[in-house]
Amino acid sequence: MSLTVLGIESSCDETSAAVVRGHHVLSNVVASQMEMHQIWGGVVPEAAARAHVESIVPVIHQALNEARVRPNDLDGIGVTHCPGLVGALSVGVTAAKTLSLVWGKPLVGVHHLHGHLVSPRAVLADSSEPERSLPFPYLALLVSGGHTELVEVRGPLEFQLLGQTIDDAAGEAFDKGARLLGLGYPGGRAIQERARTGRADRYSLPRALRDDPTRFSFSGLKTAVLRLVEKERDRLDIDDAAASLQQAIVDALAQKTLSVLESGSYRALTLVGGVAANELLRETLRQGAEQLGARFACPPLSLCTDNAAMIALVAEIRLAQGERDDLSLDCASSAPI
């Protein structure tokens, strides 16, 4: 049975609404605040929450219009309620509760990371190869500005955390590194562009905790880039530094992920979250997984960065299982997977 579900996401700096029916994404509208946060070099929580207040209703209307769905056609509403910036989350959650009341439709709260983890299973209008057939259990690497997690996916909504960062997230390493190199925010794209013409072996940067596949660490890398900038000053070749930094982050992620993939004999690996946009990381993991005889899947970019389609997808699975939340649904800044 396929349900038609409205998803709402406002956990960080993207206001998003989407309509999903039977895992097919009918619309996925994202109002990004990136330009606003660029002037500060990062996401400012209160500014993010205020922008959500302005854009939440128009974004929901646009998602329904693009999907050609009326409120009456919906089987329910899913909303991100954890983890994230509480002030930002509460905007989406309040809107979802109010809609649930006005439309008389059931409501479910969705864990943001569950959204990322199921995102490879979404079917886009232009995608010919849906990944719904990924064999359980499979391995997922979730990397974004706020998260670095290695997760065993045991069922549609059954997750086991295998490893995570003990300090900065991988996306944070890109952002902070880019800032130290004077490349601006967001850092991932800037680093990737400058790295194209740079030499990755020019500067030696650390790969932390090499022998521990369950713990990532990127704060030492940030300090190493700072020391490098201090030491080299005007002699520093930014392209080479960007390439060296990118290589260090990708090496750390890939080495641990592939070692867990091998030791756990998983038959598939997925890469999800905003940092999945990094081409070197995607290709390194794809080649590594194929060498180990495992399938590799990575959703298109529109489903990697924060979006409401993945939230609607989780909500569809949970609503189909008969799960419901009521008006007491709470927001939380952190929550275990």
Binding site for another protein (CB under 8 A): 39-42, 44-47, 49-50, 53, 56-58, 61, 71, 86-87, 90-91, 93-95, 97-99, 101-103, 179-184, 226, 229-230, 233, 236, 327-330
Paired with 216 in beta bridges are 165
Q: Which CB sits closer to another protein, 134 or 205? A: 205
Q: How far is the CB of 138 from another protein (least distance, A)?
A: 37
Between residues 39 and 125, which has the closer beta carbon with respect to another protein?
39
The distance of closest approach from Cβ of residue 136 to another protein in the complex, given in angstroms and rounded to an integer, is: 36
Query: Which residue number, 237 or 262, has a Cβ lying nearer to another protein?
Result: 237
Shortest spacing between CB 140 and another protein, in angstroms: 32
Contact criterion met (CB below 8 Å) for 204 and 221? no
**Shortest Å distance, C-beta 74 to another protein:** 12
Nearer to another protein, 52 or 121 (CB): 52
Q: Considering Cα of 313, then 314, then 315, then 318, what sign does the dihedral take?
A: positive
Q: Are 17 and 29 in contact (CB under 8 A)?
A: yes
Quote the least distance from Cβ 183 to another protein, whole Å. Answer: 8
Q: Which is nearer to another protein, 99 or 258 (CB)?
A: 99
How many other C-beta atoms lie within 10 A of the C-beta of residue 215?
A: 16
Residue 197 vs residues 225, 240, 242, 250: alpha-carbon distances, Å: 19, 8, 9, 17
Tell me how far, at minimum, the Cβ of 103 lies from another protein, in Å. 7
Please state, in angstroms and rounded to a whole number, the distance separating the CA atoms of residues 136 and 308. Answer: 24
Instruction: Give the CA diameter of the chain.
Output: 64
Question: Please, which residue, 261 or 329, has the CB nearer to another protein?
Answer: 329
